[in-house]
Amino acid sequence: MTETETAAVVLAAGKGTRMKSDLAKVLHPLAGRPMVRHLIGTLDAVRASRTVVVVGPGMESVAEAVAPLPTALQAEQRGTGDAVKAARAALAGFAGDVLVLYGDTPLLTVETLERMLAARRSAPHPAVVVLGFEPDDPAEYGRLIGGADGALDAIVEFREADETQRRIGLCNSGVMAIDGAVLFDLLDAVTDENAKGEYYLTDLVAIARARGLACAYVMAPVEELVGVNSRADLAVAERILQDRLRAAAMAGGVTMLDPETVWLSHDTKFGRDVVIQPNVFFGPGVTIGDGVTIKAFSHIEGARVAEDAILGPYARLRPGAEIGKAAHIGNFVEIKASVVEAGAKANHLSYIGDARIGAGANIGAGTITCNYDGFTKSLTDIGAGAFIGSNSALVAPVKIGDGAIVGAGSTITRDVPADALSIARGDQKDIVGGGMRYRMGRNRRK
């Protein structure tokens, strides 16, 4: 038996006025990626073979963010039914199952969509499967009118609902799985004769029933259906997603001393036996190896950390940081686009940018790689086993040979040969009794 194909229509033409933002609503990030991309990731997981994102005029930024997926333009916002119609050309000839999702409801799980598709594909093969939920306050959601057996007769929008219908707690989430063979036929029968003067997608159910087609609903937990309409909603959605990401990390063998204070990205990858102290932030693109310890207040993005390394407290890893096995990156050390090889240590107060630090090298407190001259960035190469004294400035491009020692306080502007001892600072001068004479002079004048 060949599997029924799945397509998806993601509605994202809404203006999102309440976000008070220049950024399109569906591009606001959750766990470091635009919310619409979370949905696309979920659709990938249910192997949707065609996904169309419905956008409004002037939403080129959304088209860019979802590329290479196609977008369909809904020229005017005339309701959810009209929005799905905008995807007609993109779905021409498609007769599998069509999922309709909202771009601003990004927390749907793969498992829920699979349950909807399974309901579509089993007896009585409902033409429309609606995802229902029971919010604490049903407010102005559309109400599901149906039987306890999961059969659905109609969705009544709040504005059209009578008193009895408004007492129904079972609400329409907006998510549907629809038989693609009849979708556009049914949609053509939807009119805008209602309180809002809009084409309601929800009318599909009554229209299908009138044609003798079965409809059904399946339930989902409320927290999957949090819609983002404001910044406060965005924070609620972020928290739910963070809880999921942290739970998955802990299930995979990560210890978090205070999980609620650890912020992850959608793509943060951990090995086993990683220990994370409180208040650590992961931006996108981080991979952490087995046995790594990350101490409190570290900020890490775009970085790879090999096994048994120790980071922080207060470490900052920026994009392109590659930390080798058992290396130590300590407090107030910033690493950008640099490779720190196995066992190397930079434990205090340093900036390391555009550099290689050889295996086992020791970078003293306050060392700075001067990678930028105001025009271009240059590289610093530090050999294996080198020792850089505290408060040294390494003016790039510059190379410190293997095993070389740089005296504290040096400003190094030329390459240092392997195993050399280089000191580049003013010579120390000791004036015997000078301190005493200075003090006596000042006291006399006072």
Where along the sequence are the contacts to ligand UD1 (CB under 6 A)? 11-14, 54, 74, 77-80, 82-83, 102-104, 141-142, 155, 157, 171-174, 200-202, 227
Q: Rounded to whole angstroms, how far apart are CA atoms 253 and 141? A: 40
* Identity of the residue, 171 or 365, whose beta carbon is nearer to ligand UD1 in the bound complex: 171
* Alpha carbons 353 and 305: distance in angstroms, whole number: 16
Beta-ladder partners of 377: 372
Minimum distance, C-beta of residue 165 to ligand UD1, in the bound complex (Å):
12
Of 141 and 314, the one with the shorter C-beta distance to ligand UD1 is: 141
Residue 204's nearest CA partner among 85, 378, 314 is 85
Choose between 15 and 211: whose C-beta lies nearer to ligand UD1. Answer: 15
Sign of the alpha-carbon torsion through 31, 34, 37, 42: positive
Cβ atoms 285, 305 nearer than 8 A = no
Between CA 13 and CA 128, with CA 205 as vertex, the angle to 5 degrees is 80
We find the least distance from the C-beta atom of residue 108 to ligand UD1, in angstroms, to be: 12
Residue with Cβ nearer ligand UD1 (56 or 259): 56
Shortest CB 84 distance to ligand UD1, Å = 9
Closest to ligand UD1 by CB, 172 or 422: 172
Length of the chain: 446
Give the amino acid at 200: Y
Q: Which one, 173 or 331, has the nearer CB to ligand UD1?
A: 173
Residue 109 CB, nearest distance to ligand UD1 (Å)?
A: 17
Can you list the positions of beta strands (E) in 220-258?
254-256
**Residues taking part in catalysis:** 348
Q: Which is nearer to ligand UD1, 86 or 117 (CB)?
A: 86
Give the nearest distance from C-beta 129 to ligand UD1 in angstroms.
Answer: 15
**DSSP three-state, residue 60:** helix
d(CA 158, CA 143): 7
Task: Give min distance, CB of 116 to ligand UD1, in A.
Answer: 15
At closest approach, how far in Å is the CB of 157 from ligand UD1? 5
- Residues 439 and 426: beta-carbon distance below 8 Å: no
Answer whether 396's CB lies under 8 Å from 411's CB.
no
The answer, yes or no, to whether the previous bond of 124 is cis (omega within 30 of 0) is yes
CB-CB contact of 388 with 361 (8 Å): yes
3-class SS string, 165-205? HHCCCCEEEEEEEEECCCHHHHHHCCCCCCCCCCCCCCHHH
Nearest approach in angstroms of CB 325 to ligand UD1 is: 47
82 vs 179 by CB, closer to ligand UD1: 82
Give dist(CA 400, CA 384) in Å, integer. Answer: 9
Residues 6 or more apart whose CB falls under 8 angstroms from that of 123 comprise: none
Helix axes 35-45, 110-120, angle to 10 degrees: 50
